[in-house]
A and B are shown apart, each in its own frame.
Chain A
Amino acid sequence: MGGKIGLKGTDGLADEAVRLGATPIAADRALASLKPLKALISGRRMERDLDWVTCSGAMGGDALRITSFESIEIVHQASSPTTVDDTVQAVQSFLEAGVDLILFCGGDGTARDIATATAKTVPILGIPSGVKMYSGVFGITPERVAKVVFAFLEGRVQAAEADLLDLDEERYRCGEWVIRPVGSALTPFEPTLTQTAKAFAVEASEAQAKAEIADDLRDQISACRDTVFLFGPGTTVQSVAEHVGVEKTLLGIDAFLNGRLVERDLNERAILRLLGDKKNAVLVLSPIGAQGFVLGRGNLQLSPEVIRRIGTGNIVVVATPAKLQRTPVLHFDTGDAALDRELGRNGYLSVVIGYHLRRMVPVG
């Protein structure tokens, strides 16, 4: 939780998140994986052979019951509210029960807690529902997690080692983007269905490419007077903004009108308030390196309602050629499947990679 209200991760901030109006999205995300999984295995032998061990209530039991799985055993009673200790104890119980795969909802923090407890004895797979999901153990969308689990149960996908990355949340909240490798974990790896860990290498020619992208954007800004330009989070957009001549926060969504700052670090409500009914807006975003998420990772303030208000045709995606080389496929995971389909309707996205230079990049 915490994405839509503009928190940069909820580690140590759960109470603050709830006070600001965040609602946990894990339950919906879990159902978005479990329902298609149920449909996939329905009528097959594996449906009978599949035994679930889980935690009580919101930590797993409820979602599995709603999805009508049959063999469910509660091996850990979750406290209220749930804490990191619940996660660790639950994993211990899973390991004692001899599970073949641990499926979890959360972000990088949860992945790290679980990976520490499993110590690479059992593969883990994340249903993406955190704010930060840079590690390579997450499915690309909840629906695709179902496909990975299905393929794993059929024996078509093997477990492989994947990087665990995490952002230093303290420094992240201060506007500094420091991603650290924090270890590795086993995960059922299927490259088209499981996201690769975010690449964090910076290449020497990046600066020039970003300056070119900025020149292109400057042309667009001067051609669209009285249009609000919303610059999304990330180093690419921040550097491009710098070349355009505006000062932008690293992690927030900042609004500019006719080259001047209107408001910084907007959350979902603030964006909708700013745009009102009339204002035209253009949203500038860059995909997360290697993973390829344009929406749905690190920018949850851009809710489906915000995207619809801006208009799917008014999103400018920028990336340097070097970044795209590591990011062959782009993804949308707004939480609204119909909107994701609309955003990727052509199967390709035109990405600004230089001055008057675009690249058609496949959308997964």
Chain B
Amino acid sequence: MTNTSPKHTEPLERTLYEQSVAGRRAITLPKADVPDAPLPDAQLRADNGLPELSESQIVRHYLRLSQMNFGVDSGFYPLGSCTMKHNPKINEQLARLPGFASIHPLQDAATVQGALEIMHGLQEALKEIGGFAAASLQPVAGAQGELTALLMIRACHADRGQAHRDRILVPDTAHGTNPASARMAGFLAVEIPSDARGNVDIDAVRAACDDRLAGIMLTNPNTLGLFEERIGDIVELVHAAGGFVYGDGANMNALTAVVRPGELGIDVMHFNLHKTFATPHGGGGPGSGPLGAGARLAEYLPGPVVEHDPAADPRYRFARPERSIGRMTAFHGNFGMLVRAFAYIRALGAAGLRTNAADAVLNANYLRGRLKSEYPVPFDRLCMHEFVSEGRPEGSSARAIDISKRLMDFGFHPPTNYFPLIVREALMIEPTETETKETLDAFAEAMLQIAAEARDAPEKLREAPHATPVSRLDEVKAARERIVTDRAARGSDGEIG
């Protein structure tokens, strides 16, 4: 990225390549105790281009980079639709136990019964939480969960002689991955507008329900943070037209142990373990997007899944659902994440999960109430785990991007901005349940102060952030001219470009 601020003429941290000094070493390798076996000349390079550094240089370099970073462990992170909640550290310890961390996915199932028991336990917990007949832990990300569900829907229609059903309805508030997944699965994505209350426009759904309908992708609560008020009617319409209802579980944090999507008529849904069940997120990932399915689609789930027979030996074994669409990933999903999520669910129990959901909703409504006088909320009704306001305080020319950048000066990560697309200058704020009232108040005060600044000292916003390691970046240049390797940065003549 290019730093547009004049105050940083020197790079904040030089790359390891720039710090390299020929001949310097971090470690000394022991003398080889086997004879040299030289590589063929054709495969040898005179200069392999690797940096040469001392151990202290390397340690300091990475430590300084980490100090410039921002994560849920360093501050409030109200990134809407991402559920950036605290990741309990005990789950990290459990996932690192040698019995989990050192096993191999190709080991005989009889030798890893504990691991299979955890997977089975998580499958059962997700079935219970979602109100589903079966679950599969295969998908390794939310979007892969979406794709998997759509492939199941396609397979089921094909088995019923309904392969011509090629339309998937996608609300205009959906995550961008929804239409992308639909198209990847070979469907036509049909965008459905929202109505004045922020719900899916049910008349548009009705108009789109014909004999080519394969299903609908519904996020509930939707990305406006609103519970879909007519979800029962939508499910009925889609089922009556011969389609399936897929639930995008990205916003499940609001509903866990309160509403069971399967009982609303959702046929298949993915869970984001890295959102709802507090496994690490983003750079700390990887993600995990298991699926729950109702009776009509359960046999199409990807396998293998773990089955339990107390009378058998071994008691836990891998099996493939009868009409399974097959694997979505090698081996058994992101196993470390499965351990963390299972630990989280067991530690909280049903009552704890329910309290979390309620607190997440309470926190979001608290912030909505505190901020809406300065940041208008276009769909202003009781929200769920998040709300979407307009980042343009009255009487100012500030934009959502300015508000977001200025927030960094107060030590807060900006909310999701400019999404969903149907709200102008959108700021999507999701505080999660793991924040204290003091943090929420500090955030609200910062937002209100920024609104006042937007009117009285707009340049303060336009030039923000002021207190971060680098000031405002030229994000367009960064996106258009992607220089992501040292070689690209140096250009062909070895100079920094």
User: Which residues of A line the B interface, CB within 8 A?
Assistant: 346-348, 350, 353, 355-362
| Interface hit among B128-136, B201-209, B231-239 | B201-209
Pick the residue among B189, B192, B207, B208 that contacts A357 (CB under 8 A). B189
26 contacts between A and B (CB under 8 A): A346-B206, A346-B207, A347-B207, A348-B204, A348-B207, A348-B208, A350-B190, A350-B208, A353-B191, A355-B183, A356-B182, A356-B188, A356-B189, A357-B183, A358-B167, A358-B189, A358-B190, A359-B193, A360-B190, A360-B193, A360-B201, A360-B204, A360-B207, A361-B193, A362-B193, A362-B204
Q: How far is the CA of A221 from the CA of B175 in the complex (A)?
A: 31
Q: How far is the CA of A157 from the CA of B190 in the complex (A)?
A: 36
Asked if B387 lies at the interface with its beta carbon under 8 angstroms from chain A, I say no
Asked if B187 lies at the interface with its beta carbon under 8 angstroms from chain A, I say yes
Pick the residue among A348, A350, A353 that contacts B203 (CB under 8 A). A348
Q: How far is the CA of A359 from the CA of B194 in the complex (A)?
A: 12
Which partner residue on chain B sits nearest A353 by CB separation? B191
B146 CB to closest chain A CB (Å) equals 15
B182 CB to closest chain A CB (Å) equals 8
Most chain A CB within 10 A, of B179, B183, B190, is at B190
Q: Would B191 and A357 count as touching, CB distance under 8 A?
A: yes
Q: Would B203 and A358 count as touching, CB distance under 8 A?
A: no
B residues less than 8 Å from A357 (CB atoms): 179, 183, 188-189, 191
Minimum-distance CB pairs A-B, first 3: A346-B207, A359-B191, A348-B207
Q: How far is the CA of A356 from the CA of B167 in the complex (A)?
A: 9
B2 CB to closest chain A CB (Å) equals 21
Which partner residue on chain A sits nearest B189 by CB separation? A357
Which partner residue on chain B sits nearest A363 by CB separation? B207
A residues less than 8 Å from B179 (CB atoms): 357
A residues less than 8 Å from B201 (CB atoms): 360
A-contact 0/1 string along B168-195, CB 8 Å cutoff = 0000100000010011000111111100
B residues less than 8 Å from A356 (CB atoms): 182-183, 187-189
A residues less than 8 Å from B182 (CB atoms): 356
B residues less than 8 Å from A361 (CB atoms): 193
Q: How far is the CA of A205 from the CA of B272 in the complex (A)?
A: 32
A residues less than 8 Å from B203 (CB atoms): 347-348
Other A-B pairs beyond A356-B188, A358-B191, 14, CB < 8 Å: A346-B206, A348-B203, A348-B207, A350-B190, A356-B182, A356-B187, A357-B179, A357-B188, A358-B188, A358-B190, A360-B193, A360-B204, A360-B208, A362-B193
A residues less than 8 Å from B189 (CB atoms): 356-358
Q: How far is the CA of A167 from the CA of B206 in the complex (A)?
A: 39
B207 CB to closest chain A CB (Å) equals 4
Which partner residue on chain A sits nearest B172 by CB separation? A359
Q: Would B191 and A360 count as touching, CB distance under 8 A?
A: yes
Which partner residue on chain A sits nearest B205 by CB separation? A360
CB within 8 Å of A: which B239-261 residues: none
B residues less than 8 Å from A359 (CB atoms): 172, 190-191, 193
A residues less than 8 Å from B193 (CB atoms): 359-362
CB within 8 Å of A: which B205-236 residues: 206-208
Q: How far is the CA of A360 from the CA of B206 in the complex (A)?
A: 11
B356 CB to closest chain A CB (Å) equals 36
Q: How far is the CA of A359 from the CA of B183 in the complex (A)?
A: 14
Q: How far is the CA of A355 from the CA of B192 in the complex (A)?
A: 16
Most chain A CB within 10 A, of B189, B191, B204, is at B191
B192 CB to closest chain A CB (Å) equals 5
Which partner residue on chain A sits nearest B209 by CB separation? A346
Most chain B CB within 10 A, of A346, A353, A356, is at A356
Q: How far is the CA of A357 from the CA of B181 in the complex (A)?
A: 12
A267 CB to closest chain B CB (Å) equals 33
Most chain B CB within 10 A, of A347, A348, A361, is at A348
A residues less than 8 Å from B192 (CB atoms): 360
Q: How far is the CA of A41 from the CA of B201 in the complex (A)?
A: 35
Most chain A CB within 10 A, of B167, B192, B207, B208, is at B207
B residues less than 8 Å from A353 (CB atoms): 191
Q: How far is the CA of A274 from the CA of B466 in the complex (A)?
A: 69
CB within 8 Å of A: which B48-95 residues: none
Q: How far is the CA of A348 from the CA of B190 in the complex (A)?
A: 12
Q: How far is the CA of A348 from the CA of B172 in the complex (A)?
A: 15
Which partner residue on chain A sits nearest B184 by CB separation? A356
Q: How far is the CA of A362 from the CA of B183 in the complex (A)?
A: 23
Which partner residue on chain A sits nearest B169 by CB separation? A360
Q: How far is the CA of A360 from the CA of B190 in the complex (A)?
A: 7
Q: How far is the CA of A347 from the CA of B204 in the complex (A)?
A: 8
Most chain B CB within 10 A, of A347, A357, A360, A362, is at A360
B residues less than 8 Å from A358 (CB atoms): 167, 188-191
Which partner residue on chain A sits nearest B204 by CB separation? A360
Which partner residue on chain B sits nearest A349 by CB separation? B207
Q: How far is the CA of A357 from the CA of B191 in the complex (A)?
A: 8
A residues less than 8 Å from B188 (CB atoms): 356-358
Q: How far is the CA of A355 from the CA of B188 in the complex (A)?
A: 8
Which partner residue on chain A sits nearest B179 by CB separation? A357
B82 CB to closest chain A CB (Å) equals 24
Which partner residue on chain A sits nearest B193 by CB separation? A360
Most chain B CB within 10 A, of A358, A361, A362, is at A358
Which partner residue on chain B sits nearest A324 by CB separation? B191
Most chain A CB within 10 A, of B167, B172, B188, B203, is at B188
A residues less than 8 Å from B167 (CB atoms): 358
A356 CB to closest chain B CB (Å) equals 5
Which partner residue on chain A sits nearest B186 by CB separation? A356
Which partner residue on chain A sits nearest B201 by CB separation? A360
A203 CB to closest chain B CB (Å) equals 14
CB within 8 Å of A: which B121-157 residues: none
Q: How far is the CA of A324 from the CA of B389 in the complex (A)?
A: 23
A residues less than 8 Å from B191 (CB atoms): 353, 357-360
Q: How far is the CA of A362 from the CA of B193 in the complex (A)?
A: 9
B residues less than 8 Å from A348 (CB atoms): 203-204, 207-208
Q: How far is the CA of A357 from the CA of B187 in the complex (A)?
A: 9
Q: How far is the CA of A350 from the CA of B192 in the complex (A)?
A: 10
Which partner residue on chain B sits nearest A357 by CB separation? B189
Q: How far is the CA of A362 from the CA of B208 in the complex (A)?
A: 12
A294 CB to closest chain B CB (Å) equals 16
A315 CB to closest chain B CB (Å) equals 15
A336 CB to closest chain B CB (Å) equals 22
Which partner residue on chain A sits nearest B192 by CB separation? A360
Which partner residue on chain A sits nearest B166 by CB separation? A356
A312 CB to closest chain B CB (Å) equals 14
A residues less than 8 Å from B183 (CB atoms): 355-357
A205 CB to closest chain B CB (Å) equals 13
B residues less than 8 Å from A360 (CB atoms): 190-193, 201, 204, 207-208
B440 CB to closest chain A CB (Å) equals 35
B425 CB to closest chain A CB (Å) equals 15
Q: How far is the CA of A348 from the CA of B201 in the complex (A)?
A: 11
A215 CB to closest chain B CB (Å) equals 11
Q: How far is the CA of A258 from the CA of B213 in the complex (A)?
A: 28
B residues less than 8 Å from A362 (CB atoms): 193, 204
A112 CB to closest chain B CB (Å) equals 34
Which partner residue on chain A sits nearest B208 by CB separation? A360
A195 CB to closest chain B CB (Å) equals 20
Which partner residue on chain B sits nearest A350 by CB separation? B190
A residues less than 8 Å from B208 (CB atoms): 348, 350, 360
